[in-house]
Structure 1
Amino acid sequence: MKVVLPDGKIPRKWYNILPDLPEPLAPPLDPETDEPINPEKLKRIFAEELVKQEISQERYIEIPKKVREMYSKIGRPTPLFRATNLEKILSTPARIYFKYEGATVTGSHKINTALAQAYYAKKQGIGRLVTETGAGQWGTALSLAGALMGLKVRVYMARASYYQKPYRKTLMRVYGAEIFPSPSENTEIGRKFLKENPNHPGSLGIAISEAIEDVLKNEKARYSLGSVLNHVLMHQTVIGLEAKEQMKEFEEPDVIVGCVGGGSNFAGLAYPFVKDVLDGKTDHEFIAVEPRAAPSMTRGVYTYDYGDSGRLTPKMKMHTLGHTYYVPPIHAGGLRYHGLAPTLSILLNHGIVKPIAYHQTEVFEAAVLFAKAEGIVPAPESAHAVKAAIDKALEAKKEGKEIVILFNLSGHGLLDLKGYEDFLDGKLEDYEPEEFPILSAKS
């Protein structure tokens, strides 16, 4: 029913996909000059070691001993389960497995990169980390990592989630972090958006802008990012590296599924398996799932765009809806992002990863079914992967095929019950965007 690895099986190295991509990654552009940015300039924003990892061509990068020790304390290796009850309910010949990142102490996969980033910041002598968060899983993880490493943490939380999920911010405060609803009165960018709309629900793009503005005002502070960039996705590959070992106790997966906002939890599970496909060893099918309210993969444009709404970040070549896109206030706050990780964008372009988008009502319907079957209430973000796995299992039933499905249950939803309450009470609203700023600009 499950495989739990011993502590000694915690991966010793992260997998870096950069040297294996089917084409080179386009360089980030300086927002002031539109020329490839000098990595030295990024060191004012990020810890120096993270800048090195961002552009490294080493296929495997060693995980520091201190970080591996902390991984053990927060719940790594995480368990991998077979969803036998769900299989029975669906009457499917498919066999469904899931890697359960909700087993970490903060309840999601985000702690994997939070600990690494906090470690490098502490080693460099940085005093404070500043970040954004959507639903709050990332903010919670960095808050704990800061507490464990002796760092101050400041979090700008997307305003809609700040009020939808009050216990997330309480948990961050328990870990010692300082929280602001974004847009906030604490930054010029925040005040600008609030002036335009006093009830602005916020977005990850706005929260990123506020965090970076904050960092640029404090020489001893650095920015910490929860998704999108290569070093973040690389830190998450402990998920897939563990899963590869665990699936040896079961069987080889045919289909690998994960939800996508910026791309970190999908990459964490999938990238070690993607390497086998790129090497010609296997032919896994990869399914990346996003909300229809923020469909950067299925409706975005592949072009250079800012990673934040205030245009402070370097421009990255990625699938994007436009940095000014107003993302509706869906409950999957961690997926409310206008862009996509550049490395995942390349895999998408080459047909290695297949995207799909769902409305939030159908996602919650799948999540409730999964909870009744397996007892775990998924985070609204993770529920997108649950929905895709169920659909794939039903497709296998219709075709009479025995396939093996593996998905990343990237976090539990015990602090997201307001979304479930709205679903059960019939109050959820689905969003079907008609236009995106980037499309208008290109046309």
Structure 2
Amino acid sequence: TPLIRAHRLEHALGTPARIYVKYEGVSPVGSHKPNTAVPQAYYNARQGIRRLTTETGAGQWGSALAFACAQFALECEIWMVRASYDQKPYRRSMMELYGAQVHASPSRLTASGAKILADDPVSPGSLGIAISEAVESASPDDTRYALGSVLNHVLMHQTVIGEEALEQLALVGDTPDLIVGCTGGGSNFAGLFFPFLREKLQGRMNPAIRAVEPDACPSFTRGRYAYDFGDTAGFTPLLKMHTLGHDFVPDPIHAGGLRYHGMAPLLSHMYDLDVFEAEAKPQRECFEAGILFARTEGIVPAPEPTHALAAAIAEARHCAETGEPKVILTALCGHGHLDMAAYDRYLSGEMEDHTLPQSRLDEALTTLP
């Protein structure tokens, strides 16, 4: 995938910083997710599996798995978080185009979904709830559950992003001073910076590394590092991770792919060791950054990577004040062509920021195992 020098963005910011963007929106489904969807579908098909189930938030992962299943003649059943199911109907259409069966989550098709709806008939859903439904429906012997983030094999698949970026930056003689990525479950962030971390640990470069998450779902910056379930119903094994509590249901922000209560255990371990830093951003600041990027570079970013763009732009503006010619690397993990409803909300002035009240967080954390 291309590594783009954001010359026009740099000019608009009046910064001496050099901003590089690793653009994953050129894949068939418009994001980095096929990097792991294709191998997962391939190996399941090799093992004789007939059907894969999964969850999806914004629909990027669901689209990727539906695409991959179509390539290997697998059936695909997807539980899409209700908030995104309503906000992003054309993501749902794309999944169905590839042959997947798509349900809004929570649904009445599973015991875990029905329980949520009994307690809250208008629940916006969450990735934790959708995972529970997908895992519950994967019980037949010919069926497996596939996850698009969080787990070690997914992060490994995504390191192709950083490995390519290393070689691409070497072609122009640059090394990053700052690597920044958005985090929901952590796969695109890990995929970008893990190869650079290897180089840093071997003393060949020394970039600062920064994760950026939404104010409404701040797993790193306000979560607790503890053992918790990866899903709401408690079907998964316990994972030691930064968590907001497996019962936590985030506000329905437009970055649906970042609405996860937990974080990849590998990333949580590294954050606990101070390998990288983290910050949380409100969604309006992120959409402002996304629109600036679109108007200068011509690429409409998905809502998720606008979090990383907002942090990169803030750093570049700081460089304009200090005169530092920093090299900033970020991953634009998907395009926003199917997120126009979200941009409409911002442009019309109707978008609201959602900051997590401490009382809600405290309540959610009481359910930790």
AA aligned to 2:3 is L
Work out the number of aligned pairs and report it: 364
Instruction: State the match for 1:235 in structure 2.
Output: 157
Q: Give the superposition deviation at 1:440.
A: 4.2
1:116 aligns with 2:26: no
2:4 to 81, 91, 101: 81
1:332 aligns with 2:261: no
Q: Which runs of 5+ in 1 are unaligned?
A: 1-77
CA contact (8 A) 1:254 1:405 kept: yes
1:420 aligns with 2:320: no
| Matched residue SS, 1:316 | strand
1:91 aligns with 2:25: no
Q: Give the superposition deviation at 1:439.
A: 4.1
Instruction: State the match for 1:434 in structure 2.
Output: 357
Measured in 2, the distance between the counterparts of 1:283 and 1:346 equals: 20
Measured in 1, the distance between the counterparts of 2:357 and 2:306 equals: 24
- Pairing of 1:32-431 with structure 2 (within 5 A): 78-216=1-139, 218-250=140-172, 251-431=174-354
| Matched residue SS, 1:227 | coil
Measured in 2, the distance between the counterparts of 1:153 and 1:245 equals: 35
CA contact (8 A) 1:286 1:354 kept: yes
Measured in 2, the distance between the counterparts of 1:296 and 1:259 equals: 12
CA contact (8 A) 2:230 2:236 kept: yes
| Matched residue SS, 1:391 | helix
Residues 331-383 of structure 1 show CA distances to partners (whole Å, capped at 9, x for unaligned) of 00000000010110111112111101100011001100110000001000011
CA contact (8 A) 1:320 1:438 kept: no
Return the TM-score normalized by structure 1: 0.81
- Out of 220-229 and 390-399, give the one that drifted further: 390-399
| Matched residue SS, 1:102 | coil
Taking only aligned residues, the RMSD between alpha carbons, in angstroms, comes to 1.0
Return the TM-score normalized by structure 2: 0.97
Measured in 2, the distance between the counterparts of 1:360 and 1:170 equals: 25
Measured in 2, the distance between the counterparts of 1:357 and 1:433 equals: 11
Q: Give the superposition deviation at 1:426.
A: 0.7
Q: Cα gap change, 1:172/1:367 in structure 2, threshold over 3 Å: closer, same or farther?
A: same
Measured in 2, the distance between the counterparts of 1:237 and 1:364 equals: 27
Question: Identity percentage over the alignment?
Answer: 55
| Matched residue SS, 1:176 | coil
Measured in 1, the distance between the counterparts of 2:51 and 2:149 equals: 19
CA contact (8 A) 1:209 1:310 kept: yes
| Matched residue SS, 1:215 | coil
Residues 72-119 of structure 1 show CA distances to partners (whole Å, capped at 9, x for unaligned) of xxxxxx111100000000000100000000011110000100001001
Residues 42-68 of structure 1 show CA distances to partners (whole Å, capped at 9, x for unaligned) of xxxxxxxxxxxxxxxxxxxxxxxxxxx
AA aligned to 1:184 is S
CA contact (8 A) 2:127 2:259 kept: yes
Q: Give the superposition deviation at 1:203.
A: 0.4
CA contact (8 A) 1:301 1:438 kept: no
| Matched residue SS, 1:281 | coil
